[in-house]
Structure 1
């Protein structure tokens, strides 16, 4: 055998690996029980097709087009499929169904599983235990205690916009909304702002650091086995180092305060860090120091981007469709005249404004903060979804952008911005049914734990902006859509405009 190999020409020897790979792909294709599932040709053989499409930065729209072309199930990589099916969603993301998070999520955490966040943890049992530790800090009843934090930042933000309105300068609206969201989550988490609203500047590069880490995890997650080799080389300086150091300093300072009898009666409601810290001191084994650090950092990393994206989606679409802006303003003005809302609006009052709630739901639908499938591993026994049997070990997921454009659920005009659809759903008695396929905050046991806090921030800020200011879009003319970059989070790019005092000259 060795003599036969040595007699081959160099060209033949080089071709042997290629022939091996070719026959391996062919063999896998022939044996693939799901070879009938359609999708891009290259996606049958290599994950590089998926990687390249992610790199283009608009996979949320690519994914929508794939389902328009191929139907309810689309292959996006070998053994990985994108689904658009209401009943399938209840199976894949339903409680106790046995679908664990796919290896893609491992790139969003350190290789040490004990340091996994609620978002990235692939162990369903451990995730359930961890979520129970923190759920009370994010419950609807806990929101009341966080309202003063939001009021502080809303007042400062409107003050900054008032100053900017006097200059008529063009500003990056998405950036300012992220400054707001970042400072709010800083107050709720630590009891103090980061200070981004002071000048609208990110001197430490925190926003970029979070964006860069999201890009890393999005791409490396496609080939998760390389994460263990790359993670140790990731920089812990710059913006990420700043957030980590800031977190540790806040924890250390609060620990000192709690040991000081004079500071135990500090004014104001307790922030999330204090609540977790007290739980840690009461039972260090149940609530560990790592739990405290991980949860605080998760609040900052995820809580700022998702809220800023949704706020930007609301403001942009209201301005792009002036009729809906005026309709919302009329609802807020009428409620104010009738004494139904305060200044600032409380969260409870915001929930009583039907058109405001419809606007928020429509923004979460038309521009979901996340724009990739939420991949899950099919349990060993396999399952049938949308008429296909998926064997155990297959990867299946639903992209919120795809689900939210399903015309059988959201209507023939599902591609359009129309908040009224949510009022119609309620009139038709379909509200609860439609909500089950609303994936803006995830679904099932993995629904975002910070959902209520995000809705608190959004529900309180938007009425304040609408009742006090006018805005003018810059660079988004008729028919021109706002660009976004999809790195898991679908973040708006170039959302620029001018702000004016309400009724002021333009």
Structure 2
């Protein structure tokens, strides 16, 4: 009998707590000064709608669809909003505006006291200090030192594609681009590849493997630095060697925690984003044959006139205007990240969007997928892959204006620090592949279609990164 009474008491207590919670969220929704902001009904009361929408793996498309329905702002959760407004972008992501990263970025923080992920850190002062520690390693002048590492991996990728071409095999294009991106960032960071291109497969994978491998490489590099012929090894241009030299000069400036955080950040962020961007580029070239031929002609002409080397240098690649336009358009059409980049509205600077003044403490963000489909910025053909638009913007002197809403690498003080490294990898590998091979997408490739049956891109899966799948193709030697 006592057990029954106890059970009833617990049940009643749970019902009471549930009732109080429902009453609280209902009253909060009714009294919300922004209750007129549109959005899905459940999103007015709970974050569960947003959680489920992300779980389904295609939130970037849902975000575009809802903005087309509701306009510049809609509610994704209580106190959280998705924005599509170029003026708001300047405020939300502008330098010194006080909009810090939203609390959910803590999911990306490294464990342990005193450590802070450069990507996820909400403290702008600490972020600025940590960014300054390594910013020179990502500068345009530093890229020259990384080119041999990229060349090595391009040579290996070429060998793998030659084998596939000779065998006449069908292959997963995205997989090999991922192997390339991993091996490049491994060699740039540690002077040592993961070996995925050597094997033609990723046998390990996973963050646990990356973390352990990173610790092993840091330990090995430290021991190497203490060994014989140190003066010769100090010229090694890899990322960790440069960091260790800074640590030796000032141990407090670069701690062991800094070493681990910076190296894992390099690998995790640098590999996936570059592989996704390259997959977008090659996919769209295959689906838009005129663009493919135009780029190939530009590369062939430059090679014939002796304007590019073999392998091409980064500087030479920057002087190929259509190549650079193709890279930008691939980044625009398929940004690596598929969620809004949320920021907290500060007390000092509330923001007004579409007539709605958003109060301090709210979370606001712009999704690059949404921004890049904005027809008032990118034109009525924003849904199409058309690299020529970037050449037109340049002729019109509008590049600076347009790039204020080009969010593939983020914006403002939190722009991706590895942006130049990713552009280096892309600018070098694309010409080398197109001058050597012909690529054709296979009918078995998994593609998205819209309501009219039109193919709109590769099938992808997104929880944060929008990673393509089923990118099947064939390759032959030219």
Band of TM-score, shorter chain = over 0.9
1:115 CA displacement: 2.2
Name the counterpart of 1:336: 303
Output the CA distance in 2 between the equivalents of 1:304 and 1:273: 17
Q: Displacement of 1:264 after TM fit?
A: 2.7
Question: Deviation of residue 385 (structure 1)?
Answer: 2.7
Please give the root-mean-square deviation of Cα atoms over the aligned residues, in Å.
2.0
1:450 to 412, 418, 422: 418
* 2:357 is the counterpart of 1:389: yes
- What corresponds to 1:257 in structure 2? 224
Q: CA deviation at 1:268?
A: 6.2
1:96 aligned counterpart, secondary structure: coil
Deviation at 1:254, TM superposition (A): 1.6
Deviates more, 1:451-460 or 1:256-265: 256-265
1:460 match: secondary structure: helix
Aligned to 1:295, which of 239, 256, 262? 262
Change over 3 Å in CA distance of 1:31–1:176 after alignment to 2? same
* CA contact 1:157–1:197 (8 Å) conserved in 2: yes
Q: Bigger shift: 479-488 or 366-375?
A: 479-488
Residues 44 and 77, structure 2, Cα contact 8 Å, conserved in 1: yes
What CA distance in whole angstroms lies between the structure 2 residues aligned with 1:11 and 1:444?
Answer: 51
Q: 1:501 maps to what in 2?
A: 477
Q: CA deviation at 1:464?
A: 0.7
Q: Which runs of 5+ in 2 are unaligned?
A: 1-5, 448-452
1:114 alignment partner, SS class: coil
Match of 1:485 among 449, 461, 468: 461
Summarize the Cα distance change of 1:92–1:18 in structure 2 as closer, same or farther, 3 Å threshold: same
**CA distance in 1: counterparts of 2:386 and 2:308, whole angstroms:** 25
Contact 1:146 1:271 in 2 (8 A): yes
Matched, 1:437 2:405: yes
Give the Å deviation of 1:261: 3.7
1:58-77 to structure 2, matched below 5 A, reads 58-77=58-77
**Secondary structure of 2:233 counterpart:** coil
The equivalent residue for 2:450 is: none
Once the two structures are superposed, the pairs formed by residues 223-302 of structure 1 within 5 Å of their partners are: 240-266=207-233, 269-302=236-269
Distance 1:113 1:396, change over 3 A: farther
Note if 1:418 corresponds to 2:394. no
Structure 2 equivalent of residue 236 of structure 1: none
Q: Are the structure 2 counterparts of residues 265 and 410 from structure 1 closer, same or farther at C-alpha, using a change threshold of 3 Å?
A: same
State the partner residue of 2:171: 171
Question: Mapping of 1:75-154 within 5 angstroms?
Answer: 75-112=75-112, 114-154=114-154
**For residue 322 of structure 2, what is the aligned residue in structure 1?**
355
| 1:19/1:249 CA distance change after superposition, 3 Å | closer
Q: Secondary structure at the match of 1:385?
A: strand
Contact 2:234 2:241 in 1 (8 A): no
Q: Is 2:110–2:117's contact at 8 Å kept on the other side of the alignment?
A: no
CA displacement at 1:369 relative to structure 2 = 0.4
| Contact 2:110-2:261 at 8 Å conserved across structures | no
**1:461 equivalent in alignment to 2:429:** yes
Shift of residue 256, structure 1, vs aligned partner = 1.9
Distance 1:344 1:292 in 2: 32
CA offsets 1:84-103 (integer angstroms, 9 cap, x no match):
11110010001111011111
SS of equivalent to 1:270: coil
Q: Give, in whole Å, the separation in 2 of the partners of 1:462 and 1:10.
A: 64
**Partners of 2:280 and 2:330 within 8 A in 1:** yes
Contact 2:173 2:279 in 1 (8 A): yes
Structure 2 match to 1:22: 22
Contact 1:382–1:389 at 8 Å: present in 2 too?
no
For residue 351 of structure 2, give the secondary structure of its aligned residue in structure 1: strand
Structure 1 length normalisation: TM-score? 0.88
Residue 9 of structure 1: how far off its partner (Å): 11
- More displaced, 11-20 or 308-317? 11-20
Cα separation, 2, equivalents of 1:64 and 1:182: 31
- In 1: Cα distance, 2:94 partner to 2:184 partner: 32
Where has structure 1 moved over 6 Å in runs of 4 or more?
8-14
- State the partner residue of 2:196: 196
Q: Identify unmatched segments of 5+ residues in structure 1.
A: 1-5, 210-239
> Take 1:191 and 1:472, find their aligned partners in 2: how far apart are those partners?
33
Match of 1:405 among 373, 376, 397: 373
Aligned equivalents of 1:174, 1:10: Cα separation in 2? 53
